[in-house]
Amino acid sequence: METKNVEIKKAFSFGWQSAKKDFLYFVYVAAIAMVISGILGKLGEKNFIFAIVGWVIGFITTCGIARITVDYVRGTKRELETLFTEWQYFWRVVGACIFMGILIIIGLVLLVVPGIYLIFRFQFVTLFIVDKNMKIREAMKASTEMTKGIKWQLFRFALVSIGVALLGVLALGVGIFIAVPIIWLAQAYIYNSLLSGNIKEEIKIDGSVVATN
């Protein structure tokens, strides 16, 4: 079996080139998602209703971002309203985040390393739910299979992502609106690359093949 490879340099190169090509589009996507969440988050400090609304919109836009970035990697540019149209995955993504969060917190409390391991193990769960319309358990199994043997590579990807985000913050703060889409696109690129090109064995979930060579 051939070794899977996380093409970090290519992923961020793709993210950067794509962000430059459709600069305003990705700035709008990031700004809409981040500004709405930020405003509702501030309002939520004083009003519980706003906190709930912000929480809901945050998860809906997470689903939309997954759809937008994965489809963009595959050559389809979605409309901006896609940020709010993938609500059908809302409860699955919420459930997955809660369940994974509990596992990760337990891992961090116990020995730290298991918690970090689980973060990378379940890195692609949301993308599997939105892209493949998977149930939570299926998506967790698929992400587990996809990330076998590449945890250290994903750790390096995370470090580069942090660096890109910091550069965005240092660029007068507004740079974050382009740095974040670059990271989103880089992750979607890696997901799609592993799914279609780098995975040399079948990923089977409940009898169905998710990816093959």
pLDDT at 16 exceeding the cut of 50 = yes
pLDDT of residue 67: 98
pLDDT of residue 197: 60
For residues 104-121, give the mean pLDDT: 86
4 — pLDDT class (breaks 50, 70, 90): confident
- Looking at residue 133, its pLDDT comes to 97
β-partners of residue 211 are: 203
Determine contact, residues 132/200, Cβ cutoff 8 Å. no
Dihedral angle, C-alpha 203, 209, 211, 212, nearest 10 °: 90
Type of residue at 41:
G
pTM, entire model: 0.86
As a whole number of Å, the CA-based R_g of the chain is 17
Question: Taking 80 as the threshold, does the pLDDT of residue 212 lie above it?
Answer: no
Angstrom distance (rounded) from CA 61 to CA 36: 10
Cα separation, 31 vs 73, whole angstroms:
20
Over residues 119-158, the pLDDT tens digits come to: 999 999 999 999 999 999 999 999 999 999 999 999 999 9
Report pLDDT for 154. Answer: 96
- Where is 17: in which H helix or E strand? helix 8-21
Domain boundary assignment for the chain: 16-211
Backbone angles phi, psi at 168, to 5 degrees: -65, -40
Share of the chain above pLDDT 90, in %: 68
